Amino acid sequence: MYHRGWVTWGKVWQRWEVHNFDPGGQEEMSTESIPNTNEIKMFMHCQLCADEFENHEHPGESMRTFTKYEVGYTKQGLQVWCIRHEKNVMHIDFEGYQHPANMTRYLEPGT
């Protein structure tokens, strides 16, 4: 199983593929046990955004609507980037391993 799409790498659109297989190359890993619903248990935020929000610099806004992030694959793994401050929030190094990922979205009945 694999997923395909297009991403920007620098200023150039490039094709990506995510192949789901175990690092030993034995067999394909299943993504059936990985839900495509919001399963977040703890949120992470840009520290600069959190400081601004805590100082009430943007009244009436929630942290969810205030923050602006880009999330994407890098040569090392996966990175969360704060657009508002142009700073790294988190960069995960997969250490050369490929991990299974559910890249589907929930479809409402009738769509």
Instruction: List pLDDT tens digits, range 56-69.
Output: 777 888 888 889 99
In a domain, 110, yes or no: no
Instruction: Quote the pLDDT of residue 36.
Output: 86
Does residue 101 form part of some domain?
Answer: no
- Residue 106 class from Cβ within 10 Å (0-12 exposed, 13-18 middle, 19+ buried)? exposed
Query: What residues make up the domain containing 63?
Result: 2-25+44-93
State the total domains in the chain. 1
The answer to whether residue 49 sits within a structural domain is: yes
pLDDT at residue 79, rounded to an integer: 95
Cα–Cα distance for residue pair 18/73, rounded to 1 Å: 10
The whole-number pLDDT of residue 28 equals: 57
Contact 20, 29 (CB under 8 A): yes
Sign of CA dihedral 37, 104, 97, 72: negative
pLDDT of residue 85: 95
Q: Is residue 30 part of a domain?
A: no
Mean pLDDT in order along the chain per 10 residues (111 residues): 40 43 51 85 90 83 90 93 95 90 77 61
What is the pLDDT, as a whole number, of residue 30? 67
- Predicted confidence at residue 10, as pLDDT, reads 43
